[in-house]
Amino acid sequence: MPSVEFMGKTFTVDEDGFIDSYDNWCQEWVQWVKKEEGIDELNDEHQKVIDVLRDYYEKNGIAPMVRVLSKVTGFKLKHIYELFPSGPGKGACKMAGLPKPTGCV
């Protein structure tokens, strides 16, 4: 697996740039993904999405459905795309350190 070095940290990632382990997530990772995913400025709303995703994942062991993410954050899907141009899966889940989405994508 390739690795990236950023702000003094080293991360192991897969081809799609998802982190190898949820436990290796840190604020530097967020900064790295921000650069990769076309996000100019991180704000409280980005952080809220990340917090909700991590909280849900820790409690349930899976990522929430899009509808649940919208409900809990109060952000419509359109707004989530404004925050994360690649969308909740490739953008937000990657930034939150969650495992890569699977299935018939």
Name the residue nearer to other proteins (CB basis): 8 or 105. Answer: 105
Name the residue nearer to other proteins (CB basis): 7 or 82. Answer: 82
CB of 58 to other proteins, least distance (A): 18
**DSSP H or E stretch at residue 6:** strand 3-6
Tell me how far CA of residue 90 lies from CA of 35, 79, 101, in angstroms: 14, 15, 8
Rounded to whole angstroms, the maximal C-alpha distance in the chain is 37
Residue keyed to tokens 């897969």:
14
CB of 13 to other proteins, least distance (A): 12
Name the residue nearer to other proteins (CB basis): 7 or 76. Answer: 76
* SS3 assignment, position 20: coil
CB of 8 to other proteins, least distance (A): 26
End-to-end CA distance of the chain: 22
Footprint of other proteins (CB under 8 A): 15-16, 18, 38, 62, 65-67, 77-78, 81, 85-90, 94, 100-105
Catalytic residues: 104
